[in-house]
Chains A and B, each alone.
Chain A
């Protein structure tokens, strides 16, 4: 049992992991063919993972509706929304336009998906502005630096801000665009580069731990 549950999966991970890493550094036909095969497998596995996720989502919301738990009405919209997009997509074979006319799928995209998705994101703007008023407190030196950088960036991002800058600080002979370019090219890039290097090292270490079987949480508890 240990062979099936532990040793074989570990062997698959080690062999596949090492071959995949190596194929990125060995440019020949065999490695390219190998990568293409792995990509196809990845697509197939992703499709099954998507299906599994969909079944799980439906099961979870169906049980909410059948048990009439709090907010079960919202769960109905999971099925309504799914049907509103998938049924026209199947009927129209995925085409949003046909002979210059908008199909039912095109209509569903433009009149249901588009406004709903945009509204969800637009609502964020209201919460961000309200939170900025309530929570952005300049209580320390670091907060002051953050505020000054944000102030200049926001001001420079809009023409009205550029006009305000020219009127108030034109005497310095530094345009707001020059100051922004410096902020973006020096401190912002330095910070971002540090974060990117940190993330990359972390990813490499975690990947090696998985490939060599040190990290085994993905195999479950048994």
Chain B
């Protein structure tokens, strides 16, 4: 008995890889469609903070993630931008991650058309900038000192969407969706210093680290991981990639738990029986 268990304990890791692959791919091919029963308080707060803004308010989106965290963060960004367009908010998009530019492009190829929003009039996308802390600090006094043109090379000052926007004090909110520590800079250099309401979306793994900012009100709301994206999608009643990815997440998470429990039970049996 012990020998069999020991063999099982030292199983070739490729079997575990295969098991995980099956668990992840099966629901993609044949979705289970389990309902998302709860909505986290922080996701709801993020939704409500954006929902309360008056029509025509300017919201600056800082979308700082690359394809490695795309499955979690792209559905979040898509859902929040859909919400902003539905509420007729003006949208400006910046990024400090070079790999994010293509992902932003993919969102704006599709979403504005759903709400008949026009580039330059209802939204503007600005080019990638390096050195986020320097850019954030400089935007405080003159936005156009950094972004004098949008990504298509049009004069930023003359865009209708930018009317009346000169610095943070003219913005109703900053939304930062990121898989990096750029959010800390937004909190310290912009949110706290210039009193700009800040909402964020982060990966599930980094979500617990932002608890202190939520308790102090430095963050008005926080969307965490793919579940957060699914929650936001259910709040705006537009199921998207977050909702469809939740089945794989379901089974993947439960597999991890099952494996940890199994290995520890085997260890106990080997040691004490």
B 84-125 contacts with A by CB, 8 A: 99, 101-103, 105-106, 109
When the two chains form their complex, are residues B253 and A188 in contact, meaning their CB atoms are under 8 A apart? no
Choose from B36, B134, B251 the contact partner of A42 (Cβ within 8 Å).
B134
- How many positions in chain A have a CB within 8 Å of any CB in the partner chain? 57
Is there a chain B Cβ closer than 8 Å to A110's Cβ? yes
Choose from B70, B105, B260, B264 the contact partner of A97 (Cβ within 8 Å).
B105
Asked, given contacts A39-B137, A185-B215, whether A154 binds B256 with beta carbons under 8 Å apart, the answer is yes
Is there a chain B Cβ closer than 8 Å to A104's Cβ? no
**A180-216 interface mask toward B, CB cutoff 8 Å, 1 = contact, 0 = none?**
0100110011001100100000000000000000000
**A75-117 interface mask toward B, CB cutoff 8 Å, 1 = contact, 0 = none?**
0000000000000000000111100000000100110011101
When the two chains form their complex, are residues B262 and A159 in contact, meaning their CB atoms are under 8 A apart? no
A 103-157 contacts with B by CB, 8 A: 106, 109-110, 113-115, 117-118, 120-121, 125-126, 128-130, 132-134, 136-138, 147, 151, 154-155, 157
**A158-189 interface mask toward B, CB cutoff 8 Å, 1 = contact, 0 = none?**
11111100000000000111000100110011
B244 → chain A closest CB, angstroms: 13
B 204-219 contacts with A by CB, 8 A: 204, 208-209, 211-212, 215
Q: How far is the CA of A39 from the CA of B134 in the complex (A)?
A: 5
When the two chains form their complex, are residues A151 and B257 in contact, meaning their CB atoms are under 8 A apart? yes
Beyond A120-B68, A121-B68, list 18 extra A-B contacts (CB 8 Å).
A32-B141, A39-B134, A43-B131, A47-B130, A115-B67, A129-B252, A130-B16, A132-B256, A133-B16, A136-B260, A137-B263, A151-B257, A154-B254, A159-B36, A159-B246, A162-B37, A177-B38, A185-B215
**Which residues of B come within 8 Å of A, CB atoms?**
13, 16-17, 20-21, 24, 34-38, 40-41, 66-71, 99, 101-103, 105-106, 109, 127, 130-131, 134-135, 137-138, 141, 145, 152, 204, 208-209, 211-212, 215, 225, 227, 246, 249-257, 259-260, 262-264, 267
Please, could you name 12 A-B residue pairs with CB atoms under 8 Å apart, sorted by A?
A39-B138, A40-B134, A97-B109, A110-B106, A129-B17, A129-B255, A133-B263, A136-B263, A137-B267, A163-B34, A163-B37, A192-B212
